[in-house]
Structure formats: C-alpha cells, structure tokens
Structure 1
C-alpha cells in the first residue's frame, strides 16, 4: 500500500500507538489501514452418493477441479457466501447444512470454511469462473487434479466420515507454502 484510501496521502509502515504490529498509517489523517486475512467460503454439495465439483476457468489452478468456493463478501454470513459462490460458480441451488471444515492457511493469510450442503435439483451448469461442472462419486474424484489442498483435505474427511457413519466438524491448518510449480498435492 502506498497511498491512504481516506485522503490520498503517502502512507508510512510503522507500529501505530496502542498497537503491537506494523501497519500502514497515514501521517496526514492518522488513518490506520488494517490488512487482515481473507475468508474463503464454499459448499460440499451432495446429490445421492455424488459431490458437485467445478473445473476452474480462472487462475490460480486454471483447469483443475474444486468445490464451489470463493471470497466472502461484506454484509453476508459465511453460509450465505457458500450458497452465493455455489450459485455463481455452478449455477446450482443448495440447502446449506452444517459447517464441515475450517482450515487455516496462514502462508497466504486465508481461512477456508466449507459447509455440507444438499443440491436442490440437477439444474446446474458452469458459471463464469468454471469450465465444467459435474457430479462425482468417490471412485471418480480426479484426485491428481484437485486445485487446492484445503479441498482435498475436505473431500478426504467427507469420504472417511461417510464410510464410518460418524460425521464430525473438522479443523486444520496448512502451514507449508504451496508446492513449487503450482502442482497439487496428491490426495493419498
């Protein structure tokens, strides 16, 4: 950040009074510009024994598969964001269920929250950010083409829970930076 969004002056990067961390501070109007983690919300949408996945039409991970998910917007709940992202990316209507995974990704300052959800019908198609949308049974999941480690982790928990019949809320943290070259981490 170079300029204050309140008055346009050049900002300084320093610890403001009463704080413990350096922030972008405007010396002219004293506005402290906080940069906080982004929240990614999404849905693990179920139809019978299959899960809805989207093949990405945008970077990062263009052409790879993911659950419908994206950045939370202001003035919406995390559940509302998960439903909105599913509608935007898969043109799919869902009934949002319980929060299923919450995974911290500190290396990129993000928190990923995925809800279990139920597809309301089979009227879905790719949205602007998806090349393709499809339902996958566990045996057909393209593990080597899953875009993000948080999604692979969520899917592994889901299929393990489904096999055991013991549903849990899962938390986790991915502490290592993404692999070099942008290649996905295998599921197994």
Structure 2
C-alpha cells in the first residue's frame, strides 16, 4: 500500500499509538489502514453418499480438485457466500446449510469456512472457474489431486463423521508447508 484510501496522500508503516502491530498509517490524515484476513466460504455439497467436487480452471492449483468455495463479498453472510460460490463454480443449488469446518490459514491470512449442504437436484455443471464437476463417493475421491489442505481436512472429517452419524463443528489451524503449494 502506497497511498491512503481516504485522502490519497502517502502512507508509511509504523506502530500506531496504543497498538502493537506494524500498520499502514496516513501521514496526512492519520487514518490507520488495517489489513485483515480474507474469508473463504464454501460447501460440502452432498447427494446421497457422494460429494460434489470441482476441478479448478484457474490458478492457484489449476487442474486440481476442490470443494466449491471462494472469497466472501461485502454485504453477504458467510452462508450466503458459500451458497453463491457453489452456484458460481458448480452451477449447483444447495439447501440445509450447516456450518461444519472453520480452518485458520494464518500464513496466507485466510480463514476457510465450509458448510455441509444438500444438493437440491442433480442439475449441476462446470462454472467459469471449473473445468469439470463430479460427484465422488469416499473411495473415489482423488485425494492426491486435491487443491488445498483445507479441502482435504474437511473431506476427511466429513467421511469420518458420516460413519459416526454425527457432525460436530470442527475448528483448527493449518501450519505452513515447508515447500509452498498453496
């Protein structure tokens, strides 16, 4: 960040009075520009014993499989964002959304939130950010081709919880990899 979004003057990095973090501060109007994590919202869309996955048509992780998910927009709830992303990426409508996993990814300043959801019908197809979409049962999930660790963790939890017929809300943080892949 080089310029203040309030007045257009240059900003510098410093620790504001009463704060403990380095922040961008406007030298002219004193506006403090907070940089906060991005929220990624998505679903685990279920039809019977299968889960809907999307093969990514965009970077990062082009060609890898993922749950439908994306960045939350201003003015929407997390649940609305999850349903919207499912519609955008898989052209799939979902209902009965229930918060399921909340996974902090602090090394890239993101929080990933997934909802369990029922597919309304089998009318789905690849949206502009997906190469293809497909239903998978647990045995056929392309585990080694999943795009993100948060997706893998959410799917692992889902299939284990389904066997127990209990779906507690899960919360964890993923540490950085020694070799970055996400």
TM-score interval w.r.t. the shorter chain?
A: over 0.9
- What are the ranges of 5 or more consecutive residues in structure 1 without an aligned counterpart? 184-188
Contact kept in structure 2, 1:89 and 1:129, CA below 8 Å:
yes
Q: How does 1:5-154 map to 2 (within 5 A)?
A: 5-154=5-154
Distance 1:92 1:167 in 2: 22
CA distance in 1, matches of 2:82, 2:96: 8
Shifted more, 15-24 versus 125-134: the winner is 15-24
Whole-angstrom CA distance in 2 between matches of 1:98 and 1:178: 33
**Distance change in 2, residues 1:178/1:76 (3 Å):** farther
Cα RMSD between the aligned structures? 1.2
Normalised to the residue count of structure 1, the TM-score between the two structures is 0.93
Deviations along 1:134-159, whole A, 9 cap, x unmatched?
A: 11111110000000000000000000
- So what's the TM-score if we normalise by structure 2? 0.96
Per the TM alignment, residue 178 of structure 1 is displaced from its structure 2 partner at its CA by 6.5
Q: Does 2:172 match 1:172?
A: yes
Give the aligned length: 182
* Ranges in structure 2 where 5+ consecutive residues have no aligned partner: none
